[in-house]
Structure 1
């Protein structure tokens, strides 16, 4: 039978949100402890609170730019709009590296909260909400203890904010499909705009996943098609990506530009995997791009470990290796239209986002940061497959009132 988290809709019933709240506080405590340890270790090691690694990161750049903007010095170009948030935060309080890192801890914990809510929306379980085998608790555990998520949430980077907005967008999209409401559509448009300002291809990945999901679904209401087409066509165009994002897609799929960007930005440093995508033949592309995709999704692979920095990535990778059967299940479900439910939208988003990263990233270290949103979505999907109780009745219930 469908879990009571799915069938009960009363927003005033606090019991529906208890698992999400509980995992939010678990994630918050873990990340606060990690922040204190890493921040003061960084200071003691001479990194002044910034990322305590010799390779450094974007955190010092964001901090310096935000302080400069606070004094009225607006740069002519910015890689994204994250410095504007930091400037606003520093204006309300005061310039503080620790404060910015603390905000990211909160963002990462909110991500866990909405990740558990998504699991509640898409999973089926007969387990009690306090049973650790319940999908919502499996998702809560995976999201809360995800090593890279914990580390990067303690740093002054845009990723925790980006991932939070991405997960909230996914939640709103699922709510929109399950019960079409204008307020959900308006909020979704707002979060998609923020995604565009932080990392444009993430927003496009979500829209593409939605588009494919509609095409593969057996039952779809016309209002969903119209709403999605409006989103898919207009929002990318507003931000210069062209209608349906075609200008952006055409640009990133340009073999020459893609190869140059990949070689000059992501194929440098000790964490480079050394994978060159072959665009000269279809078979060469399938083999080399497939290897890049596997590396982005499951790397580092054992033979790719060349130094300690890459070896640390194994902590993440081992978790996902255990979930490979769930990944294979997701691929099978996509191609079997009889098995597609709303949870497959979550898998599609994860898959397409990894596919995009695999096109331009040849850096295992960078992958651990770039793929966090995709992995969060995958954790949610994998958790939703545990204790699955499928029946014609449950599938029928999932489609009542226009729900998918």
Structure 2
């Protein structure tokens, strides 16, 4: 559905805001480092420098370290334009940002199209799209991730949102054209980050399974069965390789433990998952899940920066999740699918990540999906409770 004029104007203003920001940070990075790759607001190092080094190797047809397809893509981009240009990479990532906003609005629209909106439909549509655009302004860590350096993250966010939208069109409309579009999208998502592909596939399979199981079992039985199955996996299949990522659960937990030792400091949550028994693991995993989803938790606040994140990100998301829980009776199946994608993604990063700063980057996929459900739910709630203007009674 075509966006109204006001929403269209705001959309272009948001895009201009991001374009201006990435240009400003490019100039600041040139002043600070001489190459324009990355401007460090917090900390010293970032992946952007690594991607630039590998892209330069691709540009000069040298061997390069392949952690994802991203260095190859930006290296070939520079070959195409015939020059080493950090700003060209930033413009390329801005295209990813524009596509991210496009598919985010598409995801809002598909929720609205599958929801009974009543007589206030136009008002709800208008505000849902405006709130979605506002999220891209208010979500500070997302803004920093996309504009301060040449991270690959914006493409992972965009491809995950796009894949979720295409999957909804395929599953709920039974339109196989969208399935054909979904296949290359999820392939490219996996090329940018294999764990993102694993999460998308797991969430989709889990959602389809739950739709079937719900017909014969209640929530308590399903939860109990899930805990038992995962307990069996944790106890007996720790060393079985997981498809797509080709890693075992034990290696993932070891990676996390190594990170705790190597990166120990103020931004670590200090949660160990390599417990000697399943119940110890489960307790710590719930702690890690919450820490990655709505962290930093109050006891993790050990500095001004983390305190700032607590107030501008953790607290708002906590209230948003509580609001969605209070409106759970109104959540549609499409929204359940979107939230499933968000919570499964957070479940995966809760296994491997113990660092608050890293969580800010990784959980953006979950946050975006949750926010895009929230803006629709809140717009409906707002329309239902708006006070009607009562005309004055004229007496003679």
User: In which range does the TM-score fall when normalised by the shorter chain?
Assistant: 0.7 to 0.9
The equivalent of 2:94 in structure 1 is 105
Change over 3 Å in CA distance of 1:42–1:182 after alignment to 2:
same
C-alpha contact (below 8 Å) 1:51/1:57 kept by paired residues: no
Q: Which residues in structure 2 correspond to 1:274-353 (within 5 Å)? A: 274-314=270-310, 315-328=312-325, 341-353=333-345
Deviations 1:53-98 (A, max 9, x none): 44211111111211111111032x4111100110122122222112
- SS for the counterpart of 2:369 is helix
Distance 1:190 1:344, change over 3 A: same
Q: Distance in 1 between matches of 2:165 and 2:289?
A: 26
Give the Cα–Cα distance (whole angstroms) in 1 for the partners of residues 66 and 184 of structure 2: 21
Q: How far apart are the structure 1 equivalents of 2:6 and 2:337?
A: 22
Please list every run of 5 or more consecutive structure 1 residues that lacks an aligned counterpart in the other structure. 6-14, 221-244, 390-404
Instruction: Specify which structure has the bigger relative contact order, considering alpha-carbon pairs within 8 angstroms and separated by 6 or more residues.
Output: 1
Decide whether the 8 Å contact of 1:20 with 1:116 is kept in 2. no
Indicate the residue corresponding to 2:356 in structure 1. 364
Q: Which of 238, 242, 247 is the aligned partner of 1:251?
A: 247
CA distance in 2 between counterparts of 1:355 and 1:56 reads: 26
* Structure 2 residue 29 is matched with structure 1 residue 42: yes
Task: Establish whether residue 179 from structure 1 lines up as the match of residue 173 from structure 2.
Answer: yes
Alignment pair present for 1:203 and 2:197: yes
After TM superposition, the structure 1 = structure 2 runs for residues 195-274 of structure 1, keeping only pairs within 5 Å, are 195-217=189-211, 246-247=242-243, 251-254=247-250, 257-265=251-259, 268-270=263-265, 271-274=267-270
Q: CA deviation digits over 1:248-298, x for unaligned, max 9?
A: 5783422xx223201223661542111112532233222211110111000
**Number of aligned pairs?**
344
Larger gyration radius, structure 1 or structure 2: 2
Q: Secondary structure, in 3 states, of the residue corresponding to 1:184?
A: helix
How far, CA to CA, are the matches of 2:326 and 2:34 in structure 1? 44
Please report how far the alpha carbon of residue 312 of structure 1 lies from its aligned counterpart in structure 2 after TM superposition: 4.3
Q: Structure 1 residues 41, 151: closer, same or farther in 2, change over 3 A?
A: same
What is the rounded CA distance, in whole Å, between the counterparts of 1:27 and 1:44 in structure 2?
26
Unpaired segments of 5 or more residues in structure 2? 215-240, 382-396
For the 8 Å contact 1:292–1:362, the answer to whether it is kept is yes
The CA deviation at 1:211 is 1.7
Q: When the two structures are superposed, what TM-score results if normalisation uses the length of structure 1?
A: 0.77
Inter-CA distance 102–316: structure 2 relative to 1 (3 Å threshold): farther
